[in-house]
Amino acid sequence: MRPRYRRVLLKISGEALMGDQGFGIEPRVLEEIGDEIKEVTELGVQIGLVIGGGNIFRGLTASSQGMDRATADYMGMLATVINSLAMQDALEKRGVETRVLSAIEMREIAEPYIRRRATRHLEKGRVVIFAAGTGNPYFTTDTAASLRAMEIGAEAILKATKVDGVFDKDPARHPDAHKLDEVEYMEVLRRDLRVLDATAVSLTRDARIPIIIFNLKVRGNIKRVIMGERVGTLIRG
């Protein structure tokens, strides 16, 4: 059976790397994600990866507490670089060739982001980790994921979360919340479902890139989504 998608953008929240800790990076989680990504790359799937930085620093939270918003966002971007390097280390220990491309130049530890270079790395079978968001304050890593997916010609955006998909209301507070198997971009915006920020949804809607929201904690879900199984929630036009 062949994979449904040949090139995807995988978005992982920084909080996912915490595991059961309240902060930072849990090595066990990196190892599990690394194993799953390796399994998918062995199928010939090209993977671009965007990781958030919320396990280390959240710019929006710091801004709400009085810090200058632009400064706080830049600090958040640096947190994504730390996570990207940790993920690169986990993947390369598994024999997966990986490149970190940063939107903020720091040549000693990452290549500068250049679209054609990123595409070339993907064509050579390397996992490309896009660090430092878009390189601009006021934009989330969700928006960065949507932007990079468009630039590299990804066939789908896979957003790995801690829940099983998109619900009609917060499942943590409402036991009767209903999971949606499929939803349109405009419905996400109209109902303010908050699975992605509005800018990210608008970008993917314009590019007609499907988004699959699924639970990262269920082992094997990344492969299931790429193989075309109905996992999580599909967002499309």
- Check pLDDT > 80 for residue 60: no
Q: Residue 222: enclosing H or E segment and its boundaries?
A: helix 221-226
Band of pLDDT at residue 194, cut at 50, 70 and 90: confident
Tokens of residue 90, six digits: 């986990």
Closest CA to 194 of 140, 147, 154: 140
Are 98 and 38 spatial neighbours (Cβ–Cβ below 8 Å)? Answer: no
Q: What are phi and psi of 8, to 5 degrees?
A: -135, 160
Mean pLDDT estimate for the chain: 94
Cα separation values, 130 from 77, 118, 147, 194, Å: 11, 9, 11, 23
CB neighbours of 169 closer than 8 A, spacing ≥ 6? 177
Q: How does pLDDT run across 154-177, given as a tens digit for each residue?
A: 999 999 998 899 988 877 788 888
| pTM, rounded to two decimals | 0.94
In sequence order, the β-bridge partners of residue 159 are 11, 213
Q: What are phi and psi of 69, to 5 degrees?
A: -60, -45
Average pLDDT (106-116) is: 97
Q: Residue 101: enclosing H or E segment and its boundaries?
A: strand 98-102
- Domains annotated for the chain, with CATH where assigned, are 7-155 (3.40.1160.10)
